[in-house]
Amino acid sequence: MLQLVVAGLTVGSGYALVALGIHIILRATRAINFAQGEFVILGGLLAYGAVTWLHASVWLALALATLLGFVLGLAYERFVLRPAARVGELAVTIASVGTIYVLLYGHALVWGSLPQPLPYFSGVAEDVKWRVFGTEIAAQQAWVLGLLLLALVVLYAFFERTTYGKAVRAASDNPLGARLIGIDVDRARAISVAIAIALAAFGGTIIGPITLVGGAAGIGISIKGFVGGILGGLDSPVGCTLGGLVVGVVEKLLEGGAGYGIADPVVYSLLLVMLIVRPQGLFGTRRAVRD
């Protein structure tokens, strides 16, 4: 049981990072990025590429994947989201769905359609396991939770403590007002999207050693991240994080208790139920839904 919870928190960390990414992009561009999960997979595969092609250490691979994610995010905003937003809201949705195909089959062209393993962060072939309260915890699971925390701290510091982060937030919350006081709103949006995609790549790399990376998992990750966001409230970063973790735990408990095939439909049904009963999420405000 506890084992399942820990496993759930680990995959849930991935969903939490997806939910946060969706939150950041939603706030900056008022659009939901359906391809967020694909960027998680792509990030993991970029790290895998760094390890296999460049013989980089996993830490260097993590840094490279995150950086490449940032750059890809800039490009994604500039060449897909921004022009689509000029056409309309539906266009953004459709363009980001189109991006799913480009990424999903694009990475299959490079890495094949089978998921690939990433090395453990402890630098050993067989992952170290500790026994805590009668439960086996793998070192990688501890790494994932630790690195999630690190990402949250960095994000918080950027958005709440730096002038630049505050400018980006201002541009998201009130574009016109931000423009009037001289903030470059387009650039702030691009930075937001880039951060969100970097976050996805970061997430893909840290959970990669456990889940393997590649294949067609991206859509599922997108939706489960979104479920987490809806659960916690898409306009609340704390809610997104907790929601993502909860979704991971629920998924693992269902898989452990009722079998593999049950978990996904139940989690997706949870999305519909939440959308109907409380679309603003547990921590969110009503405003988020109507915008």
Q: Which residue has the tokens 């694909």?
A: 38
For residues 63 and 219, which CB has a smaller minimum distance to another protein in the complex? 219
Which member of 71, 106, 124, 130 binds another protein (CB under 8 A)?
106
Total number of residues that touch another protein (CB under 8 A): 49
For residues 93 and 135, which CB has a smaller minimum distance to another protein in the complex? 93
Three-state helix/strand/coil letters over 12-30: HHHHHHHHHHHHHHHHHHC
Where does the chain have alpha helices with state H?
2-29, 36-53, 58-76, 82-87, 89-111, 139-156, 163-173, 175-180, 185-211, 218-232, 237-258, 260-277, 287-290
Stretch that binds another protein, among 144-152, 168-176, 185-193, 258-266 (CB under 8 A): 258-266
Stretch that binds another protein, among 61-69, 191-199, 237-245, 271-279 (CB under 8 A): 271-279
Stretch that binds another protein, among 3-11, 60-68, 99-107, 120-128 (CB under 8 A): 99-107
For residues 140 and 222, which CB has a smaller minimum distance to another protein in the complex? 222
For residues 161 and 290, which CB has a smaller minimum distance to another protein in the complex? 290
Which member of 28, 104, 240, 246 binds another protein (CB under 8 A)?
104
User: What is the per-residue burial (b if ≥16 Cβ within 10 Å, else e) of 231-265?
Assistant: bbbbbbbebbbbbbbbbbbbbbbbbbeeeeeebee
d(CA 191, CA 95): 19
Contact 226, 19 (CB under 8 A): yes
Among residue numbers 77 through 96, which ones bind another protein (CB under 8 A)?
80, 83-84, 86-95
Which member of 99, 141, 172, 192 binds another protein (CB under 8 A)?
99
Least Å distance between CB 93 and another protein? 5
Helix 139-156, helix 2-29: angle, nearest 10: 30
Of 29, 72, 44, 104, the closest CA to residue 195 belongs to 72
Catalog residues that contact another protein under the rule CB under 8 A.
Answer: 26, 31-32, 34, 80, 83-84, 86-95, 97-106, 108-109, 113, 219-220, 223, 226, 230, 259, 261-262, 264-265, 268-269, 271-272, 275-276, 279, 289-290
